[in-house]
Chains A and B, each alone.
Chain A
Amino acid sequence: MLTLNDLDVFYGDAQALWNVTMELRQREIVTLLGSNGAGKTTTLKTVSGLLHPRKGQIRFGDVRLDVVEPSKIVTYGIAHVPEGRKLFPNMTVADNLLAGAYNTESWADRFKTIETIFQIFPVLQVRKKQLAGTLSGGEQQMVAIGRALMSKPSLLMLDEPSLGLAPKMVETIFNVLVDINKKGTTILLIEQNAQIALQIADRGYVMETGKISLEGKAAELMENEHVKKAYLGL
């Protein structure tokens, strides 16, 4: 479904990714593990078109992603929950969510979709008329995830969705991810909580200093000594 082939990505002169190659198959949950600064966020940003590779290609089905703009990429069915939430703080919760349904297909269903978001995160219904900037950190994270779901993506990419969420809410969100995956959405997940990420993932990649250093089935990674020590804290 999604193929990253031999990507080199730079910030100015500083190279952040080296020969990154990975693939996601239809309906998989794939997690990307690695320390801070390893290149995980850069990888996601390159897929959503916020960064362009200097070398290599990204394919999503039949289309090339690395040559088009983010606004176009969203219309292909790719949604990105960015690190740090990145909401529109002076817009209401409802308007932030609706902004996620911007592409034509999901726009038609927006009021139906928003109801399902409110079922997942009831507190957002209570807060729907509040400005997003006035919400607590964790509530803002819920809006960010909800906004991505509003586009009814076939590929959902999440950059640390559990950050700032109460343990019980982390469970809720991971249950939601499993649920929408069952309904057909492919998921690419960055998560510091490697334990929970590997529990729901089919496969995983480990990134270290801008390169893929390890890949495998989630169950195998959980047994890998290096992964255990560095990312599971065992």
Chain B
Amino acid sequence: MNNSQSLDKDKTGSVILTGYKLTKTFGGLMALNAVDVQLYEQEILGLIGPNGAGKTTLFNVIAGVYKPDSGRIDFREEKISGLRPDLICKRGIARTFQITKPFLEMSALENVMVGSYFGVRRKRTLKSSKRAADKILGFLRLEDKRKVLASQLTLVERKRLEIARALSTEPNILLLDEVIGGLNPTETIEMMALIKRIRSRGISILMIEHVMKAIMGISDRVIVLHYGQKLTEGNPKEIVKNKDVIEAYLGGMAHAHAE
């Protein structure tokens, strides 16, 4: 089966998602300007950049919330740009939100069932959706919380529920938007381990994060966006030493990460 080793990009790993020259404007603001992005099978690809650089917009374009003004996205060599978000989800791309968006007055189990019933490709019975949702809650160590209303969960539990909801749609690609921000060091280490476990299930991950220890510790490669354009990309070691990245994004803390 799939192993969790880091990919050797030079030899293996076929591309699962390609974005070509993605451009998206809001009024006069160019949120994305001809961005190329490639995600490999079972890769963890980090996405960083200053606030307002276009990171979440790129997520929204991939997930179909926004149509790109120009450019194209291929998922396993089929064009998906322009499809509705629900159809993109059914093709196998799931995402989480920076500020978690559960159905507050539904239990954790019901929240996950929404995804395992409506978000998957095939028709399913409620019973089998429930079984699937239970499994996912177990994987996220939320089994004790299955009957608890989402509104009653702590921030950490909500972040895990957010991931559970995304996983319930049985994705091949998971887009994670700041799931580590707001966690303490112990919780951060647990979340990093969880993300690696998700990857070892064969899922490719594109993640936005500002916690450098986490994103640099977990990513195979990192893309840096700046003013809607790709500033650079490379492995974490190269990125933390890159002068442009330090200037635009890391600031004086860079030396602490460059070791």
Chain A residues proximal to chain B, CB less than 8 Å:
35-37, 83-85, 123, 134-139, 141-142, 160, 163-172, 192, 194, 230-233
Shortest Cβ distance from residue B208 to the other chain A in the assembled complex, whole angstroms? 9
Interface string of B178-206 (1 = CB under 8 A from A): 10011111111100000000000000000
Interface string of B233-259 (1 = CB under 8 A from A): 000000000000000111111100000
Whether B52 pairs with A139 at a CB distance below 8 angstroms is yes
Whether A231 pairs with B184 at a CB distance below 8 angstroms is yes
Interface string of B158-186 (1 = CB under 8 A from A): 00000000000000000000100111111
Contacts A192-B182, A192-B184, A231-B184; A137 near B156 (Cβ below 8 A): no
Residue of A nearest to B251 (CB): A168
CB-based A-B contact count at 8 angstroms: 94
Whether A233 pairs with B189 at a CB distance below 8 angstroms is yes
Query: In the bound complex, how far is the Cα of B213 from the Cα of A168, in angstroms?
Result: 14
* B15 close to A (CB within 8 Å): no
Shortest Cβ distance from residue A159 to the other chain B in the assembled complex, whole angstroms? 10
Shortest Cβ distance from residue B249 to the other chain A in the assembled complex, whole angstroms? 5
Shortest Cβ distance from residue A209 to the other chain B in the assembled complex, whole angstroms? 12
Residue of A nearest to B155 (CB): A36
What are 9 A-to-B residue pairs whose CB atoms are below 8 Å?
A: A36-B154, A123-B52, A166-B51, A166-B210, A167-B249, A167-B250, A170-B253, A230-B186, A233-B184
Contacts A37-B156, A139-B51; A233 near B210 (Cβ below 8 A): no
> Which chain A positions have C-beta within 8 A of B178?
137, 164
> Which chain B positions have C-beta within 8 A of A135?
52
> Which chain A positions have C-beta within 8 A of B38?
none
Residue of A nearest to B254 (CB): A167
Query: In the bound complex, how far is the Cα of B226 from the Cα of A136, in angstroms?
Result: 13
> Which chain B positions have C-beta within 8 A of A142?
51
| CB < 8 Å neighbour of B51 from A137, A232, A233 | A137
Interface string of B18-57 (1 = CB under 8 A from A): 0000000010000000000000000000001111110110
* B212 close to A (CB within 8 Å): yes
Contacts A166-B249, A171-B251; A194 near B184 (Cβ below 8 A): yes
Query: In the bound complex, how far is the Cα of B5 from the Cα of A26, in angstroms?
Result: 54
* B231 close to A (CB within 8 Å): no
> Which chain A positions have C-beta within 8 A of B188?
233
> Which chain B positions have C-beta within 8 A of A37?
154-156
> Which chain A positions have C-beta within 8 A of B251?
167-168, 171-172
Whether B184 pairs with A35 at a CB distance below 8 angstroms is yes
Whether B51 pairs with A171 at a CB distance below 8 angstroms is no
Residue of B nearest to A172 (CB): B251
> Which chain A positions have C-beta within 8 A of B106?
none
Whether A164 pairs with B184 at a CB distance below 8 angstroms is no
List 5 other contacts, CB 8 Å, given A168-B253, A230-B184: A83-B155, A171-B251, A171-B252, A171-B253, A192-B181
Whether A137 pairs with B98 at a CB distance below 8 angstroms is yes
Query: In the bound complex, how far is the Cα of B181 from the Cα of A141, in angstroms?
Result: 13
Shortest Cβ distance from residue B57 to the other chain A in the assembled complex, whole angstroms? 8
Q: Which 6 A-B pairs have the closest CB atoms?
A: A138-B51, A233-B185, A168-B251, A37-B154, A136-B52, A36-B156
> In this complex, which of B182, B184, B249, B251 has the most chain A Cβ atoms within 10 angstroms of its Cβ?
B184
Whether B185 pairs with A230 at a CB distance below 8 angstroms is yes
Query: In the bound complex, how far is the Cα of B183 from the Cα of A16, in angstroms?
Result: 19
Shortest Cβ distance from residue A15 to the other chain B in the assembled complex, whole angstroms? 14
* B99 close to A (CB within 8 Å): yes
Residue of A nearest to B248 (CB): A168
Shortest Cβ distance from residue A16 to the other chain B in the assembled complex, whole angstroms? 11
> In this complex, which of B51, B249, B252 has the most chain A Cβ atoms within 10 angstroms of its Cβ?
B51
Contacts A36-B155, A142-B51; A164 near B181 (Cβ below 8 A): yes
> Which chain A positions have C-beta within 8 A of B250?
167-168
> In this complex, which of A137, A160, A194, A231 has the most chain B Cβ atoms within 10 angstroms of its Cβ?
A137
> Which chain B positions have C-beta within 8 A of A83?
155
